[in-house]
């Protein structure tokens, strides 16, 4: 009895540690910048209190620039991580990822079109959802085979869709005639959260929280789905309906994240795999852990992006790719000759 019950407190402790790491990273992000703010002073200002040691303008820097930016980084990381978790559950393969499966690129093409047309930011997640869903459907169609999806075809199809979408985005930029929106697309392609504020956070957080809650509610069915389509069907799960619901959640969260941060790769690959390494098989815990790990990754990467550059910010997407690329190769090496 003791050995059977012991993993639960251990998982709780790990979740508490992850939450603590996220809080520490969050606090570090709002304290560090061109102007350093002591953690105690930062907390006082965020809670609405006045600090006698605050220099003029510090409160505005914290509450109007750093705080919303860090919250957006947290939401983007959580969205991409849970989106990746869902895609891995659907394909039953740990290499699936919004970027590798073409979902991010499809969403990116839609957002690029929205930017060049001058649409309001509140419409960006909807545009990204349509683009990401279209890409996901194309890739799924290419990956279809008897008994499920071919993961090899899934990734190859995703690479192909990403290449096509990337070419179309380049075409949009080159044919824009030097329009100011073209610069916005170029900046957005590199990935980054600079310039985002409270108005951007409202829309993003709605999609993020809604998507995570929906995924948690479907977690038991995800466990059954992992046994195979035929087994899940025999156990009373409407497999087709569940797959569509999960795909909608993944694309919606990915689209919202892409519209806020641009093309940021590998978060959806790294976070779910680390969550599975840290926790025993429990879908609800894995969803929460994936969201926390993704939030930590993007929050710390955004901090590095704005503090390590010589006079200008480093691209967030580039920093995450430097971490994600080797991690992807590591996962492939673990396959030991299997068809990944």
pLDDT tens for the chain, 340 residues: list them: 444 445 566 888 889 999 999 999 999 999 998 888 888 888 887 776 655 555 667 888 888 889 999 999 999 999 999 999 998 888 888 878 887 778 888 988 998 888 888 887 767 777 888 888 888 888 878 877 655 566 677 778 888 998 999 899 989 888 876 677 777 787 777 778 887 888 888 888 998 999 999 999 999 898 888 888 788 888 888 887 888 888 888 888 888 888 888 888 889 989 999 998 888 778 889 999 999 999 999 999 999 988 887 778 888 888 888 888 888 788 777 765 555 5
pTM value is 0.85
Domain 72-334 annotated CATH 1.20.1260.10: no
CA 253 to the chain's CA centroid: 7
Please give the pLDDT value at position 4.
45
Please give the pLDDT value at position 149.
61
| 190 phi/psi in degrees, rounded to 5 | -70, -15
Residues 6+ away with beta carbon under 8 Å from 214: 245, 249
Hey, what are 81's tokens? 């991580």
Please give the pLDDT value at position 226.
82
Hey, what are 265's tokens? 């790769």
Q: For the chain, which residues make up each domain, given as ranges?
A: 72-334
Nearest to 165 by CA among 121, 131, 141: 131
Please give the pLDDT value at position 208.
93
Q: Which residues of 181-215 are buried (b: 16+ CB within 10 A; e: fewer)?
A: bbeebebbbbbbbeebeeebbebbbebbeebbebb
Hey, what are 86's tokens? 């869902």
Angle between helices 151-174 and 180-189 (to 10 degrees): 150
Please give the pLDDT value at position 150.
65
CA dist 191 and 280 (Å) reads 33
CA 284 to the chain's CA centroid: 18
- Identify how many contiguous H helices and E strands the chain contains and give both numbers: 16, 2
Q: What residue has token string 């709780």? A: 12
Please give the pLDDT value at position 272.
93
Please give the pLDDT value at position 318.
84
CA dist 186 and 151 (Å) reads 31
């Amino acid at each position: 009895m003791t050995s059977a019950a012991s993993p639960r407190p251990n998982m709780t402790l790990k979740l508490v540690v992850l939450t603590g790491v996220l809080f520490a990273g969050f606090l570090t992000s709002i304290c560090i910048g061109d102007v350093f703010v002591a953690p105690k002073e930062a907390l006082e200002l965020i809670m609405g209190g006045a600090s006698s040691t605050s220099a003029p303008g510090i409160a505005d820097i914290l509450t109007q620039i750093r705080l919303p930016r860090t919250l957006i980084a947290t939401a983007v990381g959580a969205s991409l991580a849970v989106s990746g978790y869902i895609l891995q559950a659907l394909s039953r393969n740990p290499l699936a990822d919004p970027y590798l499966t073409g979902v991010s690129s499809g969403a990116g093409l839609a957002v690029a079109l929205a930017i060049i047309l001058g649409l309001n930011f509140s419409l960006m997640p909807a545009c990204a959802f349509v683009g990401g869903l279209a890409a996901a459907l194309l890739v799924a169609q290419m990956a279809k085979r008897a008994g499920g999806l071919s993961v090899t075809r899934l990734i190859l199809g995703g690479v192909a869709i990403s290449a096509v979408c990337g070419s179309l985005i380049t075409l949009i930029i080159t044919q824009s005639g030097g329009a100011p929106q073209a610069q916005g697309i170029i900046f957005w392609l590199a990935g980054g959260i600079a310039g985002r504020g409270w108005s951007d956070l409202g829309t993003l957080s709605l999609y993020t929280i809604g998507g995570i809650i929906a995924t948690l509610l479907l977690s038991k069915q995800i466990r059954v789905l992992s046994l195979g389509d035929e087994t899940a069907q025999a156990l009373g799960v409407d497999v087709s309906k569940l797959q569509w619901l999960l795909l909608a959640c993944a694309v919606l969260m990915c689209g919202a994240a892409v519209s806020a941060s641009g093309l940021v790769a590998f978060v959806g690959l790294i976070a779910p795999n680390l969550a599975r390494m840290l926790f025993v098989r429990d879908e609800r815990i894995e969803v929460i852990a994936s969201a926390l790990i993704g939030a930590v990754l993007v929050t710390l990467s955004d901090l590095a992006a704005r503090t390590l550059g010589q006079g200008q910010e480093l691209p967030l997407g580039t920093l995450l790719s430097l971490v994600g690329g080797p991690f992807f190769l590591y996962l492939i090496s673990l396959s030991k000759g299997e068809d990944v």
